A and B are shown apart, each in its own frame.
Chain A
Amino acid sequence: MASLDYTRPLTASGNLRRRRVVDRLMRGAATAAALAAVVILGLMVFAIAQRGGSQLSVAFLTQNPPEQLYAAGGGIANAIIGSALMVALATIIALPIGVLIAIYLTEFATARAAGPIRLALDLLYGMPTIVIAIFILGLLVVGHGQTGFYASLALAIIMLPLIARTTGESLALVPKELRDASHALGISRWRTTVGITIPSALGGIVTGTILAVARVAGETAPMLLLASVFDNTKTSFNIFGQALPNIPYEIFNLAESGGTVNVAKAWGAAFVLVVFVLIANFVARALHHRSTRMMTGR
């Protein structure tokens, strides 16, 4: 083996030049891929802002749709209210159950008991929302008709694994010493959990809930199956009695019905929904950073 001349200049030479080209190409490709994703997001946001932003007015947010489907004017007030009600009810159902599951998994469950529960949560997490929607349809709607409550149930099932997972993650961050200290003071296990562990993990629970809300606020498949038959000129609060107008179905329906006026309104409703989702994600992210920094000291 010929010994190399170590004193020659340290610039790239020989096959290193070719390797450098490959290196640059691959890193350039990775950078281009990241930029492509950002550009796609940018194009989408631009389209929504340009086409939807122009629809935005006080009337759009405070009025109900006009009597005629293709008529100009009106707004999405009833859809905003309906979505808010259904998402709120779904949260009321899913939040305690999700938190309880997380508590059971981190505080009580043996490895054997935790296995099937984690598996169930993972499967629920990966379950297509259309499958959850048709499940509720078959279980409750067939023979009885749609209600906002049924749609809320579907949304709650979608929220459940999201809330349980983020809550579990933040419960796991609560230092063991904190619990031990509480136990050492003779405080019972459930008092420790309620008084020490849950408050410490509150940031994570709130973050997970906000994310889950942002996620289901845009869920369309359950709405199509469970909350799509209603009088769209009226505002309804009767969540247990009838299907409620809602933003995702409004966007879907306006876009499908075609026509310049309706498509423009669809963009307007999309704008409202995206702004809500992005703000919610931003808040969740900020809270997440704050609470992990508090918990880990980083």
Chain B
Amino acid sequence: MLLGLAAGASILAVAIIGLIIYEIVNSASPAISKYGLGFFGHQTWNNYTVFGAATLIFGTVVTSAGALLIAAPLGIAIGLYLSLFSARRTAAIIGPLVEMLAAVPSVIIGLWGIIVLGPFLRSTIEPWLHDALGFIPLFGTPSATGSGVFTAIIVLGIMALPIIAAITRDLFLTVPSELKDGALALGATRWEMVRGVVLSSMRPGIASACILGVSRALGEAIAALQVIGSVFQISSNLFAPGNTLGATIAIQANADNSKLQVASLFYLALVLLAIELLVNLAAQAIVRHYRVPSASGPTIVAAGAPN
């Protein structure tokens, strides 16, 4: 009986995935048959009649790429600090704090993003970047409100950071102490040991950690919605408002919309689902192919330290 129940529950998990894919494809089908692949090239998103995803895909890719650009180096550095550079006691304090950052609900990070971070970026960082690097189109006129792609990049970066940090820390802790000792005994400094023995042998695992981090940024709807400004446009100016797939679904999806709009939102969800499935399968494939220690999402791990 237990076996039956347990097997049934497991089949349910697989069935849910299937059902999600079926339901989203099915609900999106009116939009798919109307727009086809042209959906991805179309920039207009008119709330009643015309729907195109180009601005949203652009916004999603730009914000996630920017978030990764910030979170990857910082996250890997934190992973190194917690696993190889810090004293055991310090790691036991800072490690949980970093994990706590991952536990803050996105709506609260978004709230902080609009009320505290956005105005600060608008009044300080954006003018400074504009003055120093304004000749690059990326750093155009600072935003009017503090909402925009740049703020979204920072907020999503903050959300991806603890994930990359926690996974790479666990990864680096698996480096055998014999290897580390071997490098140190050859007269290498700690950093040389890290570069030569740790980073070089852990590249696939680091890549998969970054993929899982960016996956969080790609799929985040609420915090992005709160800080990005919700304007359907493609702008070279990072400080301009924009929009993302998740944010648009979050604010527009309710049962009262026109059938075509609902279907278009499901089409967006299908795009998001496809990106996420690809990204997660890629991370898994890397892990499996290189047989690196499994880099799954952060669970609670006793903060370890070098010895």
Contacts and interface: CB of A to CB of B under 8 A. Distances in A.
Interface of A: 19-20, 22-23, 26-27, 29-34, 36-38, 40-41, 43-44, 47-48, 51, 96-98, 100-101, 103-105, 107-109, 113, 116-117, 119-135, 137-139, 141-143, 145-146, 157, 160-161, 164-166, 169, 189-190, 193-194, 207, 211, 214-215, 217-221, 224-225, 228-229, 248, 251-252, 255-256, 263, 266-267, 270, 273-274, 277-278, 281, 284-285, 288-289, 292
Contact of A23 (B78, B192, B284): B192
Nearest to A217: B105
Contacts of A22: 189, 191
B111 A221 contact: no
In the A-B complex, the 5 residue pairs with the closest CB atoms: A218-B105, A128-B219, A104-B6, A100-B9, A33-B77
A-side interface mostly = helix
Contact of A30 (B77, B98, B100, B106): B77
B185 interface: no
Interface string B79-97: 0111001100000001011
Given A214-B103, A252-B110, 13 more contacts: A30-B85, A43-B112, A97-B9, A101-B13, A120-B14, A130-B249, A139-B19, A157-B16, A251-B108, A255-B115, A267-B111, A277-B105, A289-B302
Contact of B10 (A34, A117, A292): A117
B132 interface: no
A143 B284 contact: no
A27 B104 CA distance: 28
B-side interface mostly = helix
B10 A101 contact: yes
B255 A137 contact: yes
25 contacts: A19-B189, A19-B192, A22-B189, A23-B192, A33-B73, A34-B86, A43-B112, A44-B109, A47-B116, A97-B9, A97-B12, A105-B10, A124-B16, A124-B17, A128-B276, A134-B265, A138-B266, A139-B19, A189-B2, A215-B103, A251-B111, A255-B111, A256-B226, A284-B300, A285-B300
A20 B189 contact: yes
Contacts of B186: none
Interface string B9-32: 110111011011001101100000
A155 B74 CA distance: 31
A130 B251 contact: no
